[in-house]
Amino acid sequence: MVPTPQDIAQALVAPHKGILAADESATTMRKRLASISVAETPENGHRFRDLLFTTPNLGTHLSGVILYDETIRQNASTGIPFTKLLADAGVIPGIKVDLGLVPLYTGSLEEVSRGLDTLDARLAEYYELGARFTKWRSVIRITDTLPTEASLVANAHVLAQYAVAVQARGMVPMVEPEVLFDGTHTLEQSREVITRTLTILFDTLKAYQVDLRALILKTSMALPGKESGTALVPADIAAATVAALTQAVPAEVAGIVFLSGGQTPEQATQNLNAIAQLGTQVWPITFSYSRALEEPVLQAWKGDDAAGESAQAVFIKSLTDTVSARNGTYTGE
């Protein structure tokens, strides 16, 4: 029996697991390789992802992995397609499907994501390649004058049109309206913008008759701006984040996953732990981290095949710690 999108959504937010966002663009992957002084080649990007995806017992800790267009077409070093390798490990393959950002209008400092015109054909291909969920990212900036209502409404309509198309193809849409960490804003401003962003988004999703029971929200935590000089206090971040979600996210949404969004691995873990310690919410809450999970592995690997097993052990440690944080039991040891 073929799992329904609701079944897949529930599996993605299953207890004691999270989602790896391994959907970096080629440009971002080059930056990650440069950070460890490894040649910035597609081959080395493939080697790193092969290291991640061939880690033993991956399905114990991960419910899903978000791939990139290049990666979903690749095979592991064993010759097995990455999507089959993940599925055989009990990990659901997903795919990032937006095609990046363009200005909202000429001269605008705000952006809207693109790719709707080719989306349906790409979804059909990705389904055949093994993807069962998708991700689309929009970006919201905070300044003294941003975000504008026009930006929030435009991005909500794009995300809703995307979600409708994905569900029509039997897959689960993950909607990601990322409120950026960059800036000098306060924690309260972040909470207010997240609340406003998500309120407009879910009003729009309902207007498009998107099945919220088969939809995952990927969201930022409420954070004071990176350039604000304000310390990240986990208890304050947790309270502001849960307040925003409680106000704006309908109870029928299948689940919420947090992005790490420029935080250090330790900050992302501590803040997730503080959120979990506030108790059970009406939706399952877990993580969909990229840098926070991958950075320790990159530092352990540094392009050296002989360090592969130890780097995979670091990956498992990162996953174990983050799952503990999801459960509210992370101790930092």
Domains of the chain: 5-326 (3.20.20.70)
**For position 81, what pLDDT does the model report?**
98
The CA-based angle 117-121-124, given to 5 degrees, is 145
Q: Is 218 a catalytic residue?
A: yes
Categorize the per-residue pLDDT at 174 as very low, low, confident or very high, splitting at 50, 70 and 90: very high
Q: Is 84 a catalytic residue?
A: no
pLDDT of residue 333 exceeding 80? no
Task: Find the mean pLDDT for residues 16-32.
Answer: 96
* pTM exceeds 0.85 for this model: yes
Q: What is the mean pLDDT of the chain?
A: 97
Annotated catalytic residue, options 24, 110, 111, 176:
176
Question: Percent of the chain at pLDDT above 90?
Answer: 98
Q: Is the dihedral of CA 252, 256, 19, 323 positive or negative?
A: negative
- CA proximity to 177, closest of 79, 257, 267: 257
Q: Band of the pLDDT at 182, cuts 50, 70, 90? A: very high
Q: What are the tokens at 241?
A: 């984040």
Mean pLDDT in residue range 174-188: 97
Q: Which of 17, 96, 218, 294 is catalytic?
A: 218
Q: Region 80-91: what's the mean pLDDT?
A: 98
Residue in this structure with the two tokens 């208890």, named with its chain if needed: 235
- Tens of pLDDT, residue by residue over 99-140, are 999 999 999 999 999 999 999 999 999 999 999 999 999 999
Q: What is the pLDDT of residues 232-270, one digit of tens each?
A: 999 999 999 999 999 999 999 999 999 998 999 999 999
What's the pLDDT band for 332 if we cut at 50, 70, 90?
confident
> Residue 2: its pLDDT value, please?
86
**Cβ atoms of residues 228 and 185 within 8 Å:** yes
**CA-CA distance, 272 to 46, in Å (whole number)?**
29
* Position 327 pLDDT exceeds 90: yes
List, as one string, the DSSP characters of 128-180: HHT--EEEEEEEE--SSS-S-HHHHHHHHHHHHHHHHHHHHTT-EEEEEEEE-
